[in-house]
Amino acid sequence: MEERRQMPLIGDKFPEMVVETTKGTINLPGDYKGKWFLLFSHPADFTPVCTTEFYAFQKRYGEFRELNTELIGLSVDQVFSHLKWAEWIEENMGETIEFPIIADAMGKVANKLGLIHSADSTATVRAVFMVDPEGVIRAILYYPSELGRNVDEFIRMLKGFHVAEKEKVAIPANWPNNDLIGDKVIVPPASSKEEIEQRNAAVEKGEIESYDWWLCYKKVD
């Protein structure tokens, strides 16, 4: 394994790299310009939790594509292991893994992304990088080996990012089922006295709702 490097952070450009996958050679992030992509690492092929995750990702692959998002798997297994594992999933679980899986046997990609756990230099941690169409990392999530990921949460996050960018708003907790405002979204807080007056006027006109001038919200299509 190579010497570990500091992992990239939210807001950084995803590091440029050429990777070998079950679908051939891919240039990251260039080959995905104009699309979101979810790069998710797993500890190893032919392991129980990882198998349930890959099944779940594939089951929802159509939903990801509807959100202009591609999936990319990764572990430090070789490509033949990925292919055999995908074959096993298809034969035993009825799902064909359509997205590429990066073969990173030397750990170069994993080390570049900070995915090698200090307690086990032979396996990647369970992590997710969510990257936007401009190649910018928008979210990073880590999970322990014993806890499988919630794939539906990634779809919720992508929908939230899409709405936030289109409407210039923020997304509340548990959206679209927030305990306070349901599926409504948060209007950015005022940063001047003039904006406070504008917020209050918009509330009076029924254009937005609020608990106070710093916590305003509205319905979006």
Side chain identity, residue 176: P
> How far is residue 172's CA from residue 170's CA, in Å, rounded to a whole number?
7
Beta partners for residue 95, in sequence order: none
Of 85, 26, 15, 80, the residue nearest 50 (C-alpha): 85
Backbone region of residue 96 per phi and psi (left: phi > 0; alpha: psi in -120 to 50; beta: other values): beta
Catalytic residue list contains 216: no
- In 3-state terms, what secondary structure has residue 97? coil
Active-site option among 38, 39, 50, 86: 50
> How far is residue 170's CA from residue 154's CA, in Å, rounded to a whole number?
17
Q: Are 121 and 111 in contact (CB under 8 A)?
A: no
Of 19, 82, 20, 74, the residue nearest 45 (C-alpha): 82
Residues labelled as active-site residues: 50
